[in-house]
């Protein structure tokens, strides 16, 4: 290679390396986001189990006997507002609790 020639193979290698690095970084960021959602949902499922266990002391029949917050609210999302992003959390009923606790299949 003469002095002043453009080192094309080196430039191509640098461009390919940059593309690979960007792809790997994007992949890690994407997977991290997916992991956060999965972990949060599993934590909410654990909260649902705890909530249902408390409600089970009433036999899951008396809706006025559901666990209450300090201000008297009784819904699952009143206790665990961080779970509001999951559609199943908006309607935790006695039937859902029976399924969670293994009393219904």
Nearest to 50 by CA among 11, 83, 19: 83
pLDDT digit string, tens, across residues 59-94 = 666 666 777 766 666 777 888 888 888 888 877 777
Domain residues of the chain, as ranges? 8-100
pLDDT digit string, tens, across residues 41-66 = 888 888 888 888 877 777 666 666 77
Residue 4 pLDDT class (50, 70, 90 cuts): low
Helix locations, the chain, DSSP H: 8-56, 76-79, 94-100
């Amino acid at each position: 290679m003469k002095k002043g020639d453009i080192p094309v193979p080196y430039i191509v290698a640098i461009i390919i390396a940059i593309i690979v690095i960007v792809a790997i970084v994007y992949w890690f960021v994407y997977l991290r986001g997916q992991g956060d959602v999965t972990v949060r949902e599993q934590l909410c499922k654990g909260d649902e189990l705890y909530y249902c266990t408390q409600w089970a002391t009433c036999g899951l029949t008396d809706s006025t006997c559901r666990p209450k917050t300090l201000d008297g609210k009784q819904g699952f999302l009143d206790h665990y507002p961080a779970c509001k992003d999951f559609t199943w959390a908006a309607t935790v009923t006695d039937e859902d609790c029976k399924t969670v606790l293994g009393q219904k299949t």
